Structure 1
């Protein structure tokens, strides 16, 4: 298993993957994933009007709201794409430990999308949107030690 630590900073539009060779070391960006649909307005993502229902009494009709917004759907799609990338890299032994940083809602989507084996490699989670930071600024915002000390 690789000793490399991957740091994934993501939001619903961008996922940046950084690598560190030691828990106290510097980090370098190795990959960026983009999902531009996460930035679009709902009306640009959905071409149809909402469905319509007929009232039980009378002749009125009203629009129905979908159970999830299109932005939530796009976040789920992007989280699945990130999870696939992480699974493939794990299978290729490109990292041994994972750190995840994302806004709370997207972090939840990532947790749901990541498989159990990959999830077991996560040693640290931060519920913050750090995706716009460069490597030096990001490293300054992360804990000094990227993984928990082994007992």
Structure 2
């Protein structure tokens, strides 16, 4: 049937696009890790280290966000579904990254901190709900077999 062939082509196209995204994220993580190594080496050679920590912290947290996003793509290839928990983990890490950068730069304001806190609370609640729904789906699908 025509709709079955279209679905097969659609699935192959999505797999190709996600594969390319995963490839570029992997290359980005590798380049970022290499640059982090050189940044750390420059930190060792520098006279003062206080001002240079923000770059290392930003780079490490950015790499962590990219790794979390790549985990969601790897999970897609296993189950052909995007798991919300991995995406939420990346979003939570990104928000924490922004808070830490603002705090290290001494640019954090109370209203921004409150907004980030509420946002983290909402993301955390959604993540907990997503885990509970996933566990329930696993339990239900396990009972049917």
**TM-score scaled by structure 1?**
0.29
Structure with the higher helix share, 1 or 2: 2
**TM-score scaled by structure 2?**
0.30
